[in-house]
Amino acid sequence: MEYVVKKDGDITVILRQIEIKNADKWGKTSGQDLISNVGASAKTLEEGKTQINNTKVEVTYYRLYEFAKLFGMNRLSMQLLEKSLDPILNRKQVFNAGEGAGKSGSFFFFSHDRKYIIKTMSAEEIDVMLKILPNYLEHLRKTPGSLIAKIFGIFTIEKDGFGKVHVMLMENTLQFYNPDKLECIFDLKGSKLARTTKGELKKSTIRKDNDFKIAKAKLPKLFKM
Protein backbone atom coordinates (compact mmCIF):
# COMPACT_ATOMS: atom_id res chain seq x y z
CA MET A 1 0.00 0.00 0.00
CA GLU A 2 1.31 3.43 -0.98
CA TYR A 3 0.17 6.92 -0.01
CA VAL A 4 0.47 10.12 -2.04
CA VAL A 5 -0.29 13.35 -0.16
CA LYS A 6 -0.90 16.49 -2.22
CA LYS A 7 -0.57 20.11 -1.16
CA ASP A 8 -4.32 20.71 -1.31
CA GLY A 9 -4.92 17.98 1.28
CA ASP A 10 -5.99 15.25 -1.11
CA ILE A 11 -4.64 11.80 -0.25
CA THR A 12 -4.40 8.94 -2.76
CA VAL A 13 -4.06 5.38 -1.53
CA ILE A 14 -2.55 3.01 -4.11
CA LEU A 15 -3.31 -0.69 -3.75
CA ARG A 16 -1.55 -3.30 -5.87
CA GLN A 17 -3.18 -6.30 -4.26
CA ILE A 18 -6.68 -6.83 -2.85
CA GLU A 19 -7.63 -9.53 -0.39
CA ILE A 20 -11.23 -10.72 -0.32
CA LYS A 21 -11.67 -12.27 3.10
CA ASN A 22 -14.46 -14.70 3.88
CA ALA A 23 -15.25 -14.94 0.17
CA ASP A 24 -17.45 -17.97 0.84
CA LYS A 25 -19.92 -15.70 2.65
CA TRP A 26 -20.68 -13.82 -0.55
CA GLY A 27 -22.85 -16.68 -1.84
CA LYS A 28 -23.10 -17.14 -5.59
CA THR A 29 -21.12 -13.98 -6.18
CA SER A 30 -18.18 -15.12 -4.08
CA GLY A 31 -14.86 -16.16 -5.48
CA GLN A 32 -14.27 -15.70 -9.16
CA ASP A 33 -17.36 -13.50 -9.68
CA LEU A 34 -15.94 -10.91 -7.29
CA ILE A 35 -12.61 -10.81 -9.07
CA SER A 36 -13.79 -11.33 -12.66
CA ASN A 37 -11.76 -10.05 -15.59
CA VAL A 38 -8.44 -10.47 -13.79
CA GLY A 39 -7.56 -13.93 -15.12
CA ALA A 40 -4.25 -15.34 -13.93
CA SER A 41 -3.63 -12.36 -11.65
CA ALA A 42 -6.06 -13.83 -9.12
CA LYS A 43 -5.47 -16.80 -6.87
CA THR A 44 -7.18 -18.39 -3.91
CA LEU A 45 -5.72 -18.98 -0.48
CA GLU A 46 -7.62 -21.36 1.81
CA GLU A 47 -10.24 -22.21 -0.81
CA GLY A 48 -13.52 -20.38 -0.21
CA LYS A 49 -12.10 -18.14 2.50
CA THR A 50 -9.53 -15.63 1.24
CA GLN A 51 -8.93 -14.61 -2.35
CA ILE A 52 -6.16 -12.38 -3.63
CA ASN A 53 -6.53 -10.08 -6.64
CA ASN A 54 -3.27 -8.67 -8.02
CA THR A 55 -4.57 -5.50 -9.61
CA LYS A 56 -3.93 -1.80 -9.18
CA VAL A 57 -6.57 0.34 -7.50
CA GLU A 58 -6.23 4.02 -6.59
CA VAL A 59 -8.57 5.70 -4.10
CA THR A 60 -8.36 9.47 -3.70
CA TYR A 61 -9.87 11.06 -0.59
CA TYR A 62 -10.34 14.75 -1.36
CA ARG A 63 -9.53 17.32 1.36
CA LEU A 64 -9.14 14.67 4.04
CA TYR A 65 -8.00 17.13 6.70
CA GLU A 66 -10.94 19.45 5.99
CA PHE A 67 -13.49 16.66 6.25
CA ALA A 68 -11.76 15.47 9.43
CA LYS A 69 -13.12 18.64 11.09
CA LEU A 70 -16.62 17.34 10.46
CA PHE A 71 -15.64 14.04 12.03
CA GLY A 72 -14.72 15.88 15.21
CA MET A 73 -17.92 17.90 15.26
CA ASN A 74 -19.98 14.68 15.14
CA ARG A 75 -17.80 12.53 17.42
CA LEU A 76 -17.13 10.23 14.49
CA SER A 77 -14.06 8.00 14.19
CA MET A 78 -12.64 5.68 11.56
CA GLN A 79 -13.40 2.76 13.88
CA LEU A 80 -17.10 3.64 13.95
CA LEU A 81 -17.13 4.06 10.17
CA GLU A 82 -15.46 0.70 9.65
CA LYS A 83 -18.12 -0.94 11.78
CA SER A 84 -20.93 0.63 9.75
CA LEU A 85 -19.27 -0.10 6.39
CA ASP A 86 -17.99 -3.60 7.11
CA PRO A 87 -18.23 -5.52 3.77
CA ILE A 88 -19.65 -8.69 5.30
CA LEU A 89 -22.35 -6.83 7.24
CA ASN A 90 -23.22 -4.85 4.09
CA ARG A 91 -23.35 -7.83 1.73
CA LYS A 92 -27.11 -7.60 1.20
CA GLN A 93 -27.01 -3.81 0.80
CA VAL A 94 -24.28 -3.98 -1.85
CA PHE A 95 -26.10 -6.50 -4.05
CA ASN A 96 -29.47 -4.79 -3.63
CA ALA A 97 -28.07 -1.37 -4.48
CA GLY A 98 -29.55 0.23 -7.57
CA GLU A 99 -30.12 3.47 -9.34
CA GLY A 100 -31.82 6.25 -7.47
CA ALA A 101 -35.44 7.09 -8.08
CA GLY A 102 -34.56 10.66 -9.01
CA LYS A 103 -33.69 12.05 -12.42
CA SER A 104 -29.98 12.12 -11.54
CA GLY A 105 -29.82 8.32 -11.83
CA SER A 106 -27.24 8.18 -9.05
CA PHE A 107 -26.20 4.76 -7.82
CA PHE A 108 -26.34 4.45 -4.04
CA PHE A 109 -26.76 2.12 -1.09
CA PHE A 110 -27.42 2.44 2.63
CA SER A 111 -25.09 0.97 5.23
CA HIS A 112 -26.50 -2.00 7.13
CA ASP A 113 -27.19 0.15 10.21
CA ARG A 114 -28.87 2.86 8.07
CA LYS A 115 -26.46 5.50 9.37
CA TYR A 116 -24.71 6.30 6.09
CA ILE A 117 -25.27 6.45 2.34
CA ILE A 118 -22.66 5.92 -0.36
CA LYS A 119 -23.75 7.66 -3.54
CA THR A 120 -22.12 8.22 -6.92
CA MET A 121 -21.50 11.75 -8.15
CA SER A 122 -20.11 13.41 -11.26
CA ALA A 123 -16.72 15.08 -11.67
CA GLU A 124 -18.55 18.40 -12.01
CA GLU A 125 -20.30 17.84 -8.67
CA ILE A 126 -16.94 17.16 -7.03
CA ASP A 127 -15.63 20.49 -8.34
CA VAL A 128 -18.65 22.32 -6.93
CA MET A 129 -18.40 20.55 -3.56
CA LEU A 130 -14.71 21.38 -3.19
CA LYS A 131 -15.43 25.01 -4.08
CA ILE A 132 -18.11 25.42 -1.39
CA LEU A 133 -16.44 23.13 1.17
CA PRO A 134 -15.01 25.89 3.44
CA ASN A 135 -18.39 27.67 3.68
CA TYR A 136 -20.21 24.34 4.07
CA LEU A 137 -18.04 23.29 7.01
CA GLU A 138 -18.27 26.72 8.62
CA HIS A 139 -22.07 26.62 8.41
CA LEU A 140 -22.19 23.21 10.09
CA ARG A 141 -19.77 24.42 12.76
CA LYS A 142 -21.96 27.42 13.58
CA THR A 143 -25.25 25.50 13.35
CA PRO A 144 -24.65 21.96 14.70
CA GLY A 145 -28.40 21.27 14.62
CA SER A 146 -28.64 21.99 10.88
CA LEU A 147 -30.85 19.64 8.86
CA ILE A 148 -28.48 19.87 5.88
CA ALA A 149 -27.09 16.42 5.12
CA LYS A 150 -23.57 15.95 6.42
CA ILE A 151 -21.07 14.77 3.81
CA PHE A 152 -18.11 13.06 5.44
CA GLY A 153 -16.00 12.56 2.35
CA ILE A 154 -15.80 12.55 -1.43
CA PHE A 155 -13.67 10.05 -3.31
CA THR A 156 -12.50 8.96 -6.74
CA ILE A 157 -11.80 5.26 -7.33
CA GLU A 158 -9.72 4.06 -10.29
CA LYS A 159 -9.07 0.43 -11.22
CA ASP A 160 -7.13 -1.06 -14.10
CA GLY A 161 -9.51 -1.66 -16.98
CA PHE A 162 -12.32 0.50 -15.57
CA GLY A 163 -13.25 4.17 -15.72
CA LYS A 164 -13.16 6.51 -12.75
CA VAL A 165 -15.96 6.27 -10.21
CA HIS A 166 -16.71 9.28 -7.98
CA VAL A 167 -18.61 8.73 -4.73
CA MET A 168 -19.60 10.58 -1.60
CA LEU A 169 -20.07 9.27 1.91
CA MET A 170 -22.94 11.07 3.59
CA GLU A 171 -25.08 10.86 6.68
CA ASN A 172 -28.51 9.32 6.34
CA THR A 173 -30.78 12.05 7.66
CA LEU A 174 -33.72 9.63 7.95
CA GLN A 175 -32.71 7.87 11.15
CA PHE A 176 -35.95 7.44 13.03
CA TYR A 177 -36.01 6.76 16.74
CA ASN A 178 -39.80 6.52 16.61
CA PRO A 179 -41.02 5.87 13.03
CA ASP A 180 -44.65 5.92 14.18
CA LYS A 181 -44.41 9.68 14.71
CA LEU A 182 -43.35 10.32 11.12
CA GLU A 183 -45.69 12.82 9.45
CA CYS A 184 -43.98 13.48 6.11
CA ILE A 185 -40.66 13.32 4.27
CA PHE A 186 -39.23 16.05 2.02
CA ASP A 187 -36.34 15.98 -0.45
CA LEU A 188 -35.48 19.69 -0.77
CA LYS A 189 -33.30 20.95 -3.63
CA GLY A 190 -33.81 24.69 -3.23
CA SER A 191 -35.70 25.00 -6.52
CA LYS A 192 -39.32 25.40 -7.65
CA LEU A 193 -38.84 23.97 -11.15
CA ALA A 194 -40.46 20.53 -11.50
CA ARG A 195 -40.43 20.16 -7.72
CA THR A 196 -44.03 19.05 -7.11
CA THR A 197 -44.86 15.44 -6.24
CA LYS A 198 -47.53 13.82 -8.39
CA GLY A 199 -50.08 11.25 -7.32
CA GLU A 200 -51.41 10.30 -3.89
CA LEU A 201 -49.40 11.64 -0.96
CA LYS A 202 -48.87 9.22 1.93
CA LYS A 203 -46.72 9.55 5.04
CA SER A 204 -44.01 7.50 3.32
CA THR A 205 -44.13 9.56 0.08
CA ILE A 206 -40.96 11.57 -0.55
CA ARG A 207 -42.22 15.06 -1.28
CA LYS A 208 -40.51 18.00 -2.95
CA ASP A 209 -39.95 21.73 -2.50
CA ASN A 210 -43.36 22.98 -3.68
CA ASP A 211 -45.07 20.36 -1.50
CA PHE A 212 -43.14 21.75 1.46
CA LYS A 213 -44.50 25.26 0.87
CA ILE A 214 -48.05 23.93 0.57
CA ALA A 215 -47.76 21.78 3.70
CA LYS A 216 -46.19 24.62 5.68
CA ALA A 217 -49.09 26.91 4.80
CA LYS A 218 -51.71 24.30 5.72
CA LEU A 219 -50.01 23.00 8.88
CA PRO A 220 -48.02 25.92 10.38
CA LYS A 221 -47.82 24.33 13.83
CA LEU A 222 -46.23 21.19 12.42
CA PHE A 223 -43.45 23.20 10.77
CA LYS A 224 -42.80 25.58 13.64
CA MET A 225 -39.12 25.43 14.62
Superfamily of structural domain 67-171: Phosphatidylinositol Phosphate Kinase II Beta (3.30.800.10)
pLDDT value for 158: 92
If pLDDT is split at 50, 70 and 90, which confidence band does 99 have? low
Dihedral sign (CA 60, 66, 67, 72): positive
pLDDT over threshold 80, residue 83: yes
For the stretch 35-52, pLDDT in tens is: 343 333 444 444 456 777
pLDDT of 77 over the 60 cut: yes
Residue 125 CB coordination number (10 Å): 15
**Per-residue pLDDT for 7 more than 50?**
yes
Domain ranges of the chain: 67-171, 179-218
- Confidence check: pLDDT of 200 > 80: yes
Distances (CA, A) of 50 to 17, 67, 87, 201: 13, 33, 14, 48
